[in-house]
């Protein structure tokens, strides 16, 4: 590491490149004495494809090559954002061999230096072309201001994940204690179960299906799977908890409550979108990945409207009795930390374009916070004396 730090000191990098010229060899298959480009697939690789750096930090990478060529080559790095990261040397000369060794494995050091916060991809070209395929040789480099902020952001992610996961249970508890679901809007539950079902389909499809993953990576060759295991767990758990609440609606007192005609119409329209696009996917007119995207769009639309029926019902009854304020507090904590995490990441990676560019995620988070605040006002300000009217002792 000391060598790389010396190489990459400001103003000294250029002088050190020649002393740290990297040489490596490629496997060669000779057909009539001509190297075969197709035989060299996956014979060159970088030991890591994702790298995190601090500003002014230097990291040592190993580039591994298997075999040799009988001609000299030059590999040139193409840095997407040269103002973010620097590689030394920027190009590597590969000397040819009169007697190529097809099995030799040689690894060499490359120095990566973080110049400013941000994200940058690094790809490679080889001249003369046609000898080796470098499409799968690339780096995704993230340069950040502070590792401490990165850790705080990571912890926040797990806190809001836990808050959102637990937020379903105060409502289940209050229903159980009261042996009643009066005051809980059924349109909200119906929209919620459909939304989390769509979300579960999207997450499970991208996480478990190799076919859908191949479709995704064919469109984003250097991308990462956007769905992680915690996403799968959260969506399935949310659907399960919502099903428990719906089951309570059949077991406990509910008076004349039911899913409204408007709610049924909205659910029918969403179901039609899912069925029609699914049928198109079955006949091969669109890929299954596209169908999952349609499912995710349905989930986003439901998130925008699902709280409206409950807020209106509270207004009509002039009461929040039967609607758990604990659910709202946990949802507010989760939403607030989610947006705060986005702000911290935007600062740490100097990525405000993505922060403001991801209008969907930011907008939905902010929209949910607005409803949470409105529900808190309904509970503690507008209808704070409703407990006496309904003789309710259970407060969750």
Predicted pLDDT at 321? 92
Please report, to the nearest 10 degrees, the dihedral formed by the alpha carbons of residues 120, 216, 155, 117 taken in order.
10
Helix (H, G, I), strand (E, B) or coil at 35: strand
Residues facing 63 on adjacent strands? 46, 108
* The CATH number of domain 44-144 is 2.60.40.10: yes
Predicted pLDDT at 396? 57
Tally of CA atoms within 13 A in the half-sphere of 375 that contains its CB: 25
pLDDT digits (tens, 9 = 90+) for 201-229: 999 999 999 999 999 988 877 666 788 88
Dist CA 343 CA 332 (whole Å): 17
Lookup result for tokens 């591994």: 64
Lookup result for tokens 């899913």: 259
Name the segment(s) of the chain with CATH classification 2.60.40.10: 44-144
* 131 CB-near residues (< 8 Å, 6+ apart): 26, 35, 37, 40, 69, 71, 73
Predicted pLDDT at 360? 58
Mark 331-355 as b/e (b = at least 16 C-beta within 10 Å).
bbbbbbbbbebbebbbbbbbbeeeb
pTM: 0.76
pLDDT digits (tens, 9 = 90+) for 324-381: 999 999 999 998 998 898 889 889 988 887 666 555 567 777 888 999 999 999 999 9
Predicted pLDDT at 103? 83
Predicted pLDDT at 275? 97
Helix (H, G, I), strand (E, B) or coil at 66: strand
Residues facing 58 on adjacent strands? 113
Q: Please calculate the CA angle 143-145-150 and round it to the nearest 5 degrees.
A: 85
Dist CA 139 CA 118 (whole Å): 14
- Ordered alpha helix ranges (H), 181-228: 186-208, 210-219
- Residue ranges in the chain modelled with pLDDT below 70: 1-42, 222-224, 354-361, 386-396
* 115 CB-near residues (< 8 Å, 6+ apart): 55, 56, 83, 84, 85, 86, 143
Structure token pair of residue 354 = 């993505």
């Amino acid at each position: 590491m000391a060598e790389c730090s010396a190489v990459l000191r400001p103003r000294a990098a250029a002088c050190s490149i020649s002393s740290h010229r990297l040489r490596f060899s490629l496997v060669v298959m000779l057909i009539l004495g001509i190297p075969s480009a197709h035989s060299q697939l996956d014979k060159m690789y970088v030991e890591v494809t994702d790298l995190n750096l601090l500003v002014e930090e230097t990291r040592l990478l190993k580039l591994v090559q298997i075999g040799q060529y009988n001609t000299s080559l030059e590999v040139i790095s193409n840095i997407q954002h040269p103002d973010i990261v620097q590689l030394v040397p920027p190009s590597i000369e590969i000397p040819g061999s009169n007697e190529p060794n097809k099995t030799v494995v040689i690894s060499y050091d490359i120095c990566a230096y973080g110049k400013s916060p941000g994200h940058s991809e690094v790809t490679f070209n080889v001249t003369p072309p046609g000898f080796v395929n470098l499409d799968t040789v690339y780096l995704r480099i993230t340069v950040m201001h502070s590792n401490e902020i990165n850790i705080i952001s990571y912890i926040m992610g797990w806190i809001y994940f836990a808050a959102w996961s637990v937020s379903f249970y105060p409502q289940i508890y209050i229903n159980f204690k009261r042996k009643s679901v009066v005051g809980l809007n059924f349109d909200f539950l119906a929209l919620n179960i459909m939304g989390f079902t769509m979300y579960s389909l999207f997450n499970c499809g991208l996480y478990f299906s190799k076919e859908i993953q191949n479709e995704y990576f064919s469109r984003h060759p250097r991308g990462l799977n956007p769905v992680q295991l915690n996403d799968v767990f959260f969506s399935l758990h949310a659907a399960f908890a919502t099903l428990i609440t719906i089951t309570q609606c059949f077991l406990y007192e509910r008076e004349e409550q039911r899913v409204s005609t408007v709610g049924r119409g909205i659910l029918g329209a969403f179901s039609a979108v899912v069925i029609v696009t699914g049928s198109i996917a079955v006949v091969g007119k669109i890929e299954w990945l596209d169908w999952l995207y349609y499912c995710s769009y349905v989930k986003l639309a439901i998130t925008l409207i699902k709280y409206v029926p409950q807020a209106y019902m509270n207004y009509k009854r002039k009461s929040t009795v039967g609607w758990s304020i604990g659910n709202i507090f946990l949802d507010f904590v989760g939403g607030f930390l989610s947006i705060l995490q986005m702000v911290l990441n935007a600062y740490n990676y100097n990525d405000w374009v993505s922060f403001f560019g991801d209008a969907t995620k930011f907008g939905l988070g902010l929209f949910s916070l607005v409803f949470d605040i409105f529900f808190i006002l309904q509970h503690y300000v507008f209808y704070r004396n409703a407990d006496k009217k309904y003789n309710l002792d259970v407060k969750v």
